[in-house]
Amino acid sequence: MRPRQPTESGVVDRDGVGIHWETYGSGEQTLVLLPPWMIVHSRIWKAQIAGLADHFRIVTYDARGCGRSDRPTDPVAYGPEAHTADALAVLDATGTDRAVLVGNSYGGLLALVLGAFAPERVAGAVFIGPSTDLSGTADAPLTRALLRFHDEPDVEEGWGRYNRHSWARDFPGFVRWFTETALAEPHTTKPREDALEWGLDTTAEVLTATVAARAGVPPEKSAASLRALIPAVTCPTLVIQGLLDEICPPTFGRDLAAALGSELVEMPDAAHCPQVRFPIQVNELIRSFVARRVGTDAATGPVGIVCDPGHVPAPRRTRPPRVLYLSSPIGLGHARRDLAIASELRTLVPEAEIDWLAQDPVTRFLDAAGERVHPASHRLASESAHLEAETDEHDLHVFEALRRMDEILVTNFSVFADVTASEEYDLVVGDESWEVDHFLHEHPATKRARFAWLSDFVGIVPMPSGGEREAFVAADWNREMIGHVERQPGVRDRSIFVGDPEDVVPLGFGPGLPSIADWTAAHYDFSGYITGFDPAELDHGVLRAELGYRDDEVVVIAAVGGSGVGLPLLRRIVAAHPLAAQEIPGLRTVVVTGPRLDPDALPDVAGVEKRAFVPDLHRHLAACDLGIVQGGLTTTMELTAAQRPFLYVPLQNHFEQQVHVRHRLDRHGAGRALDYATATPEVIAEAMTEQLRQGPPRYQPVRPDGARRAASLLVDLL
Instruction: Decide: 22 and 42 in contact? Cβ < 8 Å.
Output: yes
Q: How far is it, in rounded angstroms, from Cα 196 to Cα 178? A: 9
Q: Judging by beta carbons within 10 Å of its beta carbon (0-12, 13-18, 19+), is residue 716 exposed, middle or buried?
A: exposed
The pLDDT of residue 512 = 97
Per-residue H/E/C for 38-102: CCCCHHHHHHHHHHHCCCCEEEEECCCCCCCCCCCCCHHHHCHHHHHHHHHHHHHHCCCCCEEEE
The pLDDT of residue 309 = 40
Q: How far is it, in rounded angstroms, from Cα 123 to Cα 128? A: 17
According to CATH, the topology of domain 1-305 is Rossmann fold (3.40.50)
Taking phi over 0 as left and psi of -120 to 50 as alpha, with beta for the rest, 548 belongs to: left
Q: Judging by beta carbons within 10 Å of its beta carbon (0-12, 13-18, 19+), is residue 344 exposed, middle or buried?
A: buried
Mean pLDDT of the chain: 94
Q: What is the pTM of this model?
A: 0.94
- For the cut 60, the answer to whether the pLDDT of residue 555 exceeds it is yes
* DSSP 8-state code for residue 13: E
Q: How far is it, in rounded angstroms, from Cα 449 to Cα 428? A: 6
- The more confidently predicted of residues 88 and 594 is 88
- For the cut 80, the answer to whether the pLDDT of residue 36 exceeds it is yes
Q: 627 Cβ partners below 8 Å, 6+ apart? A: 556, 557, 558, 559, 621, 635, 639, 644, 645, 646, 647
| 373-432 per-position pLDDT tens digit | 999 999 999 998 898 889 999 999 999 999 999 999 999 999 999 999 999 999 999 999
| 117-166 per-position pLDDT tens digit | 999 999 999 999 999 999 999 899 999 999 999 999 999 999 999 999 99
The H-or-E segment that residue 24 falls in is strand 17-24
Q: How far is it, in rounded angstroms, from Cα 632 to Cα 638? A: 10
Q: What are phi and psi of 18, to 5 degrees?
A: -80, 130
b/e per residue 405-441 (b: at least 16 CB within 10 A):
bbbbbbbbbbbbbebbeeeebbbbbbbbbbbbbbbbb
CB atoms within 10 A of CB 532: 20
Q: What are phi and psi of 76, to 5 degrees?
A: -60, -30
Largest CA distance in the chain: 93
Q: Which CATH superfamily is domain 535-693 in?
A: Glycogen Phosphorylase B; (3.40.50.2000)
Give the model's confidence band at 301: pLDDT under 50 very low, under 70 low, under 90 confident, else very high.
very low
The pLDDT of residue 317 = 66
Q: Where are the domains of the chain?
A: 1-305, 322-365+426-531+709-715, 535-693
Q: How far is it, in rounded angstroms, from Cα 538 to Cα 328? A: 27
Query: At 470, which amino acid appears?
Result: E
Instruction: Decide: 25 and 45 in contact? Cβ < 8 Å.
Output: no
Q: Report, in angstroms and rounded to the nearest whole number, the Rg of the chain calculated over CA atoms.
A: 29
| 607-637 per-position pLDDT tens digit | 999 998 787 889 999 999 999 999 999 999 9
Query: At 44, which amino acid appears?
Result: I
Q: What are phi and psi of 98, to 5 degrees?
A: -150, 140
Nearest to 223 by CA among 150, 105, 104, 143: 143
* CA dist list (Å): 53 to 57, 379, 456: 6, 11, 33
For the chain, percent of residues with pLDDT exceeding 70? 96
